[in-house]
């Protein structure tokens, strides 16, 4: 027993040092991300917390299954503790994401698929706690909240499937952000569809012409809410078939690029690109990010197990009080 305690103590100290190291590395080891500045460092905090949120939800569901199967108080304590820790990480991920989005994308909330999913997850956790507080009988509280937890887990796949259909495009890192991944882009034509949307930006093609071995397009860009309207002129190297000049969207740190051009028909394939190089392709960022994932996972396990022990202890104390009460 004392050996286990000593091991626990050592693990706790190691975890503390590890997390402190990550916080330091986040600012000193990770290089500044070109175009995003210091805001890019949030990847070390934001992505692991978001990922732990889903892990917590799954852990809680597994404990709920075990509770309904074996009806042990320890399993219920595990389910609650995992849900509580998950709620904490969920809030952290949401707030840090909104903060970052406000700086970089100019709006804290965009009904981006991941934003939708995490908001609904937050609501499910809140509903789970509300249900628990409304059930007085201990056994019934455990049983019914386990049922609700599992029932909510059944709807999650639909949410993951439906959420991407809500917005036409996403600002989240699956397409414009990480190098190597690819947005589809849109074709605009002078003699056809001249107006289109990339994300929530409206683009209108005004002209394409050849200047030397460059193709130059005139594109009117309207930002969401018509906050900014500008005419950008991205260019394309006809010889090498690569985008040349990528102007920045007004008020946002994204770039507009021509990916293909057909001068004869006046057709242009326009796409949105994140500035700078890929964030995780930098090895220092990559390893700090991986270390942060491990650290946050450890933090989650420590938190929920501690909370589960406390819950069990409370339960035992309450039962002892009942046992000592003089019978009426």
Partner 1 sequence: MDQHVSSRSTVEASAPAAAPGAPLLAAAWAVFRKDVRSELRTRYALNAILLFAVSTVVAMSLGMGPLTVSRNADLPIIQAALLWVAILFAAFTGLARAFVQEEEARTAAALRLSTRPTAVFLGKLLFNLALLLLLVVVTTVLFIIMLRVQVGNPGLLAALLLAGSLGLVAATTLIAAIIARASVKGALFAVLSFPLLAPLLVVAIQGSANAIAGRGWESGVGSLQVLAGYTIALFTASLFLFNSVWEP
Point out which residues bind partner 1 (CB under 8 A). 68, 116, 120, 123-124, 126-127, 130-131, 134-137, 140, 143-144, 146-148, 150-152, 154-155, 157-159, 161-163, 165-166
Sign of CA pseudo-dihedral 49, 32, 247, 236: negative
Among residues 154 and 264, whose Cβ is nearest to partner 1?
154
Strands 214-222 and 201-211 come out as: antiparallel
19 vs 162, beta carbon nearer partner 1: 162
Which residue's structure tokens are 């002129």? 233
| Least gap, CB of 142 to partner 1 (angstroms) | 10
Closest contact distance (angstroms) between CB of 141 and partner 1 is 9
Residue 158 vs 324, nearer CB to partner 1: 158
Q: How far apart are CA 260 and CA 270, in angstroms?
A: 8
Give the nearest distance from C-beta 195 to partner 1 in angstroms.
Answer: 14
Q: Which residues of 146-181 are buried (b: 16+ CB within 10 A; e: fewer)?
A: bebbbebbeebeeeeeebeeebebbbbeebbbeeee
> Nearer Cβ to partner 1, position 11 or 126?
126
Minimum distance from residue 101 beta carbon to partner 1 (Å): 21
Considering the complex, state which of residue 73 and residue 178 has its C-beta at the smaller distance from partner 1: 73
Give the nearest distance from C-beta 140 to partner 1 in angstroms: 6
Integer Cα distance of 259 and 236 in angstroms? 7
For partner 1, the closer of residues 94 and 252 by Cβ is 94
In angstroms, the Cα distances linking 28 to 12, 46, 93 are 24, 18, 22
CB of 224 to partner 1, least distance (A): 15
Phi, psi of 106, rounded to the nearest 5 degrees: 80, 5
Which one, 109 or 161, has the nearer CB to partner 1?
Answer: 161
In whole angstroms, give the CA distance from residue 60 to residue 302. 15
Q: Which tokens in the block code for residue 99?
A: 């903060």
* N residues, the chain: 328
Closest distance between partner 1 and the C-beta of residue 54, in Å? 15
């Amino acid at each position: 027993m004392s050996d286990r305690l000593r091991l626990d103590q050592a693990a706790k100290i190691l975890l503390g040092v590890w997390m402190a190291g990550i916080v330091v590395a986040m600012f000193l080891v990770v290089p500044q991300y070109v175009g995003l500045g210091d805001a890019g460092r949030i990847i070390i905090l934001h992505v692991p917390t978001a990922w732990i949120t889903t892990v917590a939800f799954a852990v809680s569901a597994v404990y709920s299954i075990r509770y309904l199967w074996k009806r042990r108080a320890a399993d219920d304590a595990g389910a609650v503790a995992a849900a509580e820790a998950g709620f904490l990480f969920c809030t952290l991920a949401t707030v840090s994401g909104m903060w970052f989005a406000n700086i970089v994308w100019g709006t804290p909330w965009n009904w981006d698929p991941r934003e939708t999913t995490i908001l609904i997850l937050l609501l499910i956790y809140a509903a789970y706690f509300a249900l628990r507080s409304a059930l007085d009988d201990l056994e019934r509280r455990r049983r019914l909240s386990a049922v609700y937890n599992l029932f909510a887990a059944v709807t999650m796949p639909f949410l993951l499937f439906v959420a991407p259909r809500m917005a036409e495009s996403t600002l989240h890192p699956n397409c414009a952000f990480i190098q190597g991944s690819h947005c589809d882009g849109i074709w605009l034509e002078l003699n056809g569809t001249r107006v289109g949307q990339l994300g929530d930006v409206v683009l209108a093609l005004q002209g394409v012409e050849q200047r030397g071995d460059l193709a130059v397009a005139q594109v009117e860009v309207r930002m969401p809410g018509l906050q900014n309207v500008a005419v950008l002129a991205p260019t394309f190297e006809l010889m090498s078939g690569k985008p040349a000049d990528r102007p920045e969207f007004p008020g946002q740190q994204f770039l507009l690029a021509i990916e293909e051009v057909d001068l004869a028909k006046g057709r242009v394939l326009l796409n949105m690109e994140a500035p700078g190089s890929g964030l995780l392709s930098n090895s220092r960022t990559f390893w700090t990010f991986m270390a942060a994932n491990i650290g946050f996972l450890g933090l989650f396990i420590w938190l929920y197990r501690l909370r589960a022990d406390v819950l069990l202890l409370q339960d035992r104390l309450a039962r002892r009080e009942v046992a000592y009460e003089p019978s009426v």
